[in-house]
Amino acid sequence: MIGKDAAERRWSIGELAQASGVSVRALRHYDGIGLLRASGRTASGHRRYTEQDLRRLYRVLTLRALGIPLEQVKGALDASSEDLAGMHRLLTAQLGELTARADRTRQLIQEVRGLLRRLDAGAMPDPDQFMTALEMISMLNNYFTDEQRARMAQGIAAAGPEAAEETKTRWAGLVEQLLGHVEDDTPVDDPQVQELLRRYDQLGAPFQPEGFTAEQREQLQAAIQRLWQDHSADIAQKLPWPAEKMTALYAYLDRARAARDDD
């Protein structure tokens, strides 16, 4: 962060993208539709966001997380004044959603522990226990929308199993190279890093079905990021690298994207 006085602080579009997890392309789209416009510009025309802009972005992301379609978010924000009561209502709704999600996670943990106890005792869990666990998994399956899951399945099926295996191999090789740059603390704007990032971001292209828009790709990327943030330890158990290394890698890639996209 530049400067110590929050009232005078200004954020570039790259800094805002890195902090919020919203891509630079999406922020530009928000600007274009009047959802979130930067309050200031530098002498060379680069966007600079203020504290008021940050509060509006927080509202945008919270309303999206609560399931409100993007086309309705702007109307909801424009209809309400930026007051303490409005922010309190928004945060209360978000807290309720987060609490409900945490409660569902705890319930699923208890169900899985129950299944393991039956197995440890030498008995197969009964169908009702499996049914309960399946219901809990279904409730937790909220990282990807039905459309996202269907489109991913469509893209993977169209590409075929050989393409999937080849992509896994390429992905592992890129991860190894990028982790080396993380350990060496290579500047994120280094040409080698930027080329690896370009190749990394293009890995999923063969699995994206025809008609998959830029906004849909960004939404999918955001869902994957939320999934990793919530379950990094569990996912890392299936990878040859420890969770802390992968977390550091994803943070490094975010900084590299910001360096690439900052206008």
pLDDT attached to residue 196: 93
Could you read off the pLDDT of 203-219 as tens digits, one per residue?
A: 766 655 555 566 666 66
pLDDT attached to residue 3: 39
- Locate the domains of the chain by residue range: 6-82, 93-142, 144-261
Distance CA 193, CA 16 (A): 21
Q: Tell which residue, 144, 115, 120, has the closest CA to residue 132.
A: 115
pLDDT attached to residue 58: 84
pLDDT attached to residue 4: 39
pLDDT attached to residue 81: 55
Residue 263 has pLDDT above 60, yes or no: no
pLDDT attached to residue 193: 94
User: Crossing angle of helices 161-184/146-159, nearest 10°?
Assistant: 110
pLDDT band at residue 49, thresholds of 50, 70 and 90? very high
The CATH number that domain 6-82 falls under is 1.10.1660.10
